[in-house]
Amino acid sequence: MKEKYSGKEIIKAGEMFLSDNIFDDIDKFNKAMDVLSYWRFQHEYPLEKALSILKEEAGNRDKAAIFAKRLKRYVSIVAKLRRFPKMKLKNMQDIGGCRAIVSNTKKLYQIVRELRRRPEFRNQLGKIRYKDYIKKPKDDGYRGYHLIGSFEDQRGDHKLIEIQLRTTIQHDWATALEIVDLFTGQALKSSQGEQDWKDFFKLVSEHFALMDEIHLFNTKKYEEQLNAYKSKIEKKTKFAETRFEIQAYESSLDVVKNLEAFAHSLKAADEHISQRKVEGYVLLKVDTRKAEVSSTLFDDTENEEAEKMYLEYEKETAENKDIVVALVSTTAVGGIKEAYPNYFADSTDFLKYLMLIIKSSIRPNLFRRILNESGL
C-alpha cells in the first residue's frame, strides 16, 4: 500500500512548524498537522512491537517493572525541531517511544545487555544507537538509558522507536521536573528556564544517584533509608556540602509548598482516571488554568480513532499554553497515574526522597532551634 504522504511532504510539513507565523494561515497549519498526525500514527504498530520486546526482556528480570508507551506530542515534536534545525521530521527517532521503570540500576543494566543483543537495535553497520545518561547525565541532571531500535510497520517498512529505561528514583526526579514545567511555563526539560530551578534539580539529581547506589534502597523503611543515605554522604565531602545548597534552594523556591499546591489544585474530572489500566490508549487533557485533568479511553481496536481525536485536540489547543494534550498507555498495576504521575501533578515520591536530603542537611544548632521553637 502506497504511503499517503511522500517523504518530501513529511519533511516539508516539519519545516513549516519552524516558522513563527505558522498560525497566520490556518489552512496551511491544519495541512501540516494532518501530515504530522499521519506520520506519527505510522509509528503505532512498530511501537507495539518494541513494547512487546521491552516487556519480555524487562519483565524477566524485574517483576515490579512498570511499562508505558506514547506517541510524541505535537508541542514536543515542534520544540525538538526548533532546538535542532538540521533535524527532519521524517528522521526523528523518538516519535514513538516506550519506557520501562525498574527497581534499580543493577537490574536496568541487565535488561540493557539483553536488549543490545537483539538485531532490532543494530543499524546496517552493526552499530547500536544508544545514550547512557546514567554514566553521563544530561547537563540538567537527567538520568536514564535510551536505545533506538528499528521495527517493521504494517507495510514492511521500518520505523525508528526509542526505548527508555529508568530506575524508580530517576523517574521520580524526571516527574517533578516536568510538573514544574507544566505549572510554571518553563522548559527545564529542554535546559531552558530559571537558573535557580535548573541548579536545584541538577544538585538533587546527583543526590538521588547516590541513593540509587545503595543496595535495595527502595525496600528499606524510611528511617533506614535516611541512615543509609547519611552514611553515604558523610564519606563524600562534595555531597556533604551540596545538601546545604539544596536546602537553601528548597527554601528560596518554596519547592515543597509549590509541588504540594500543584497536586492539590489539579482535580480529575473523572476520579477513576488515574487507576485505569488499558491495552489501548488514554487521551489526557490537562488544563492548568482550570486545574483539571480529563480523559477519553480507547481500547486496542480503536487506535485510529484515538489518533484522530488526538489531532483534533492538538489543533484546538496549539496556541494555548495552559492546556497539555497527551496520548498515553500503560500496563502499570496502579494505572495511568503510576506511569505518568506528571500529568496528575503527583510528586509524592520525589518529595519523600527530597526530604531525606533536607533532614540530613539540618545542622545540629539549627535542629535544636527548631525543637525549641516547636516547644519540644
Q: Within a domain: residue 222?
A: no
Q: Give the pairing of strands 129-132 and 323-330.
A: unpaired
For residue 70, the domain's CATH number is 3.30.460.10
- CA dist 114 and 112 (Å) reads 5
Q: Which cell is 343 given?
A: 500529568
Of 186-190, 290-294, 331-335, the poorest mean pLDDT is in: 331-335
Is the pLDDT at 303 greater than 60? The verdict is yes
Please report whether residue 321 resides in a domain: yes
Per-residue pLDDT, averaged over 277-294, amounts to: 84
Is residue 374 over pLDDT 80?
A: no
- Give the chain's mean pLDDT: 89
pLDDT at 375: 47
What are the CB-based long-range contacts (under 8 Å, 24+) for 250-258? Answer: 250/200, 250/354, 250/358, 252/196, 253/196, 253/197, 253/200, 255/200, 255/354, 256/351, 256/354, 256/355, 258/180, 258/183
Percent of the chain clearing pLDDT 90 (strictly above): 69
Nearest alpha-carbon partner for 303 in 91, 165, 154? 154
Gap between the Cα atoms of 321 and 286, Å rounded: 11
Residue 275 confidence (pLDDT):
59
Grid coordinates 528522521 are at which residue? 91
Share of the chain above pLDDT 70, in %: 91
Strands 96-102 and 66-71: antiparallel
Question: What is the mean predicted confidence (pLDDT) over 311-336?
Answer: 84
- Residue 81 φ then ψ, to 5°: -60, -35
DSSP-derived 3-state class of residue 71 = strand
Q: 289 in a domain, yes or no?
A: yes
- Angle made by CA atoms 276, 51, 135, in degrees to the nearest 5: 105
Query: Angle at Cα 95 formed by Cα 89 and Cα 101, nearest 5°?
Result: 155
What is the phi-psi region of residue 82: left when phi exceeds 0, alpha when psi lies from -120 to 50, beta otherwise? alpha
Helix axes 195-213, 348-361, angle to 10 degrees: 90
Cα dihedral: 186, 255, 237, 224 (round 10): -130
- Residue 198 forms part of a structural domain: no
90: in domain = yes
pLDDT higher than 80, residue 368:
no
Using one digit for the tens of pLDDT, what is the confidence trace for 172-193?
A: 999 999 999 999 988 898 888 9
Tell me, yes or no, whether 252 lies in a domain. Answer: no
Place of cell 519483565: 59
Least reliable range by pLDDT among 103-117, 157-171, 256-270: 256-270
All 3 cell numbers of residue 307?
Answer: 489518533
Expressed as residue numbers, the domain containing 340 is 7-193+267-344
pLDDT at 371 over 80: no
Q: How many domains does the chain have?
A: 1
User: Is residue 373 pLDDT above 50, yes or no?
Assistant: no
- pLDDT value at 331 more than 70: no
Q: How confident is the model at residue 372 (pLDDT cuts 50, 70, 90)?
A: low
Question: What's the rounded mean pLDDT across residues 220-247?
Answer: 92
Residue 154 within a domain: yes
With CA atoms as reference, report the closest residue to 49 among 101, 121, 110, 122: 121
- Position 26 in a domain: yes
- Sign of dihedral through CA atoms 307, 33, 290, 198? positive
The three three-digit cell numbers of residue 174, written as one number: 524526571
255-265 helix and 348-361 helix, angle to the nearest 10 degrees = 160
Is the distance from CB of 101 to CB of 169 less than 8 angstroms? no
Checking if the pLDDT of 100 tops 90, the result is: yes
Contact 30, 82 (CB under 8 A): no
Checking if the pLDDT of 3 tops 80, the result is: no
